[in-house]
Chains A and B, each alone.
Chain A
Amino acid sequence: MNNSLIIGQYVPGNSLVHKLDPRTKITIIFFYVITVFFANSLASYSVLVVFALACMFTSRVPLRFIMKGLTPVWFLIIFTFILHLFVTKEGTVIFDFWIFEFYSGGVIQGFAISIRFFLLILVTSLLTLTTTPIEITDAIEDMLRPLNKVRFPVHELALMMSISLRFIPTLMQETDKISRAQASRGVDFRTGPIKDRIKAVVPLLVPLFVSAFKRAEELAMAMEARGYQGGEGRTKLRELKIELRDIMVYLLFACVIALLFLTRNYS
């Protein structure tokens, strides 16, 4: 439990990718994820791979952190590859031994899908590796701002998200403390039949709820005392600003997309 107190994947750094405006990163990743599905030739895949690897290296995030983000999906990638190897029966037979009969089409498709999946995971995890959750929340608030016009409470949502983020470590610590207190009284959370484990969670959640409400009351009072009046006219500690580097990155990415559609197979 102690190790899981550090959740999230953010790796502090000073690279170009770290310094980019979070809105730029989210926008580019959004369009990247869409364009990945348009790639269908070796050249177009290479364009995408080069772009993703270039982002990875400029971010200077140590490779082991990136690999850690990929661990849960390695299995899926390999499974998909093997599935295609066995199931897709197109092209010529390139390997035939006992029950193993692999076709060139299967190998190619297996590779293509695995690389597509790998790229999606790599690029989206680069976002969370180089951007703090609070920056992402700020960016979401800013990007949802147009919804204000249809009376969607954007500011309130962002406020709730940043309060939530702020309290994750606090409440995790509290959960840890309560579960230790219960464990010292002989409660066993880890072993035993499911029924007993469920029972063990009850005395953990009750104090958690009560203290969360107490904290909320204190925080609300503190905010009121400091004159909090909602989103109208509120200034910010962290201002988001589009800089020259953001524009350059947008231009570069536009070139990547253009290149992808040039190298795509249209037949």
Chain B
Amino acid sequence: MQKTSMQSSNLLKLIILALLGTISLVLFFLNFPLPFLPAYLKIDFSEVPAIMAGLIFSPMAGIIVVAIKNLLYLAISGAGDPIGVAANFLAGLMFVVPVSLIYHKFKKGTKSVVSGLVTGTIIMAVGMSVLNYFVILPAYGWFMGWEMTNQVIWASVIAGVLPFNVIKGIVVALLFIPIFIKMRRWIEQKQVSLT
């Protein structure tokens, strides 16, 4: 496809991000709980399209895909759980941005993707634990009128949030690595033709 102007490639980029956001939302709906963790912590593959956007374009593109997914989720299923949606957005951001940054900074190969996924998992797990301890769980407690002691919050972070995010990162990484290996040439082609 030939680009005639700046604007045309910009529009194409917008549409691609929109469609990646849709795929992300579809994958978000196909979530499943983990057998040994509380039911509200559910695993899904919705970060995969965001990582794809982050690799082909930029970290910002990855953030946009995550944002579209969460905004659409709000528009479709209502704001019954606004804190959960915000938490999901932040988790996605913390996971996707490191992958994209490391990939673009170093040699664009499998190695940098793997190290990006590992870094992303660590940042997401630690970051979400901190956020849950200081902001999210107290916010839920206030919202629901539960009085949570620091011990309760600490326990649910150590036994719930931290392992959950580590497992989520590993699962998404295990899915993304074979996809990247299969689609590497295609991704590089798209980088050339789109940016």
Tell yes or no: A233 within 8 A of B by CB. no
Q: Mark contacts of B47-63 with chain A using CB atoms, 8 A cut-off: 1 yes-contact digit, 0 otherwise.
A: 01100100000000000
Pair A160/B76 contact, Cβ less than 8 Å: no
Q: Are B52 and A209 in contact (CB under 8 A)?
A: yes
Are B23 and A156 within 8 A (Cβ)? no
Q: Which of A164-172, A235-243, A257-265 contacts B (4 or more CB under 8 A)?
A: A164-172
CB pair A160 B12 closer than 8 Å: no
Q: Out of B19, B78, B182, name the residue touching A124 (CB < 8 Å).
A: B78
Segment from A13-21, A52-60, A223-231 that makes contact with B: A223-231
Stretch at the interface among B97-105, B113-121, B127-135, B171-179: B171-179
Shortest Cβ distance from residue A195 to the other chain B in the assembled complex, whole angstroms: 7
Q: Bound complex: CA of A187 vs CA of B174, how far in Å?
A: 18
B192 adjacent to chain A (CB < 8 Å)? no
Bound-state CA distance A102–B126 (Å) is 40
In the docked arrangement, what's the CA distance between A165 and B72, Å? 7
Cβ-neighbour of B145 out of A72, A113, A128 (below 8 A): A113
Q: Is A127 an interface residue, CB under 8 A from the partner?
A: yes
Known contacts A113-B144, A165-B72, A217-B1; A205 and B19 CB within 8 A of each other: no
Complex interface: stretch among A92-100, A114-122, A246-254: A114-122
Residue in B18, B21, B179 whose Cβ sees the most chain A Cβ within 10 Å:
B18
Contact for B72 among A112, A120, A161, A215, CB less than 8 A: A161
- B interface size (C-beta, 8 A): 45
B19 with A206: CB separation less than 8 A: no
Count of residues in A whose CB is under 8 Å from the partner chain: 65
- Residue in chain A with minimal CB distance to B56: A213
A interface footprint on B10-21 (CB within 8 Å = 1, 0 otherwise): 011011111111
Which chain A residues lie closer than 8 Å to B15 at the CB level? 160, 163, 216, 219-220, 223
Contact status B175-A121, CB under 8 Å: no
Mark A155-182 against chain B: 1 for CB-CB distance below 8 A, else 0.
0100111011101100110010000000
| Interchain CB contact under 8 A, A125 and B12 | no
- A8 x B76 contact (CB < 8 A): yes
When A160-B21, A163-B19, A217-B12 are in contact, do A198 and B68 touch as well, CB less than 8 Å? no
Contact for A224 among B11, B16, B23, CB less than 8 A: B11
A94 to B4, CA, bound (A): 78
User: What's the least CB distance linking A110 to chain B, in Å?
Assistant: 9
Cβ of B71 within 8 Å of any chain A Cβ, yes or no, is: yes
- Are A156 and B14 in touch, CB under 8 angstroms? yes
Q: In the complex, which residues of chain A have a beta carbon less than 8 angstroms from the beta carbon of B64?
A: 160
Contact A199 B75 (CB under 8 A): no
Q: Tell me if A215 and B19 are in contact (CB < 8 A).
A: yes
Scan residues 109-143 of chain A and give those whose CB is less than 8 A from a CB of chain B.
Answer: 109, 112-113, 116-117, 120-121, 124-125, 127-128, 133, 136-137, 140
Tell me, in angstroms, the Cα distance from A29 to B1 when the chains sit together.
Answer: 46
Residue numbers in B under 8 Å from A136 (CB-CB): 75
- Residue among A133, A171, A198, A228 with max Cβ neighbours from chain B (10 Å): A198
B167 nearest in chain A by CB position: A194
Closest residue to B67 on the A side, CB-wise? A157
A-B pairs with the 6 shortest C-beta distances?
Answer: A113-B145, A128-B78, A160-B18, A163-B18, A220-B12, A212-B19
Would you list 18 pairs from A and B whose C-beta atoms are within 8 A, ordered by A residue?
A: A8-B77, A80-B146, A124-B79, A128-B75, A133-B72, A159-B18, A160-B17, A161-B72, A163-B15, A164-B19, A165-B75, A167-B19, A167-B22, A168-B72, A198-B171, A213-B190, A217-B12, A223-B11
Known: A160-B18, A164-B25. 10 other contacts (CB 8 A): A80-B144, A80-B146, A137-B75, A140-B71, A160-B68, A168-B26, A205-B23, A205-B175, A209-B183, A216-B18
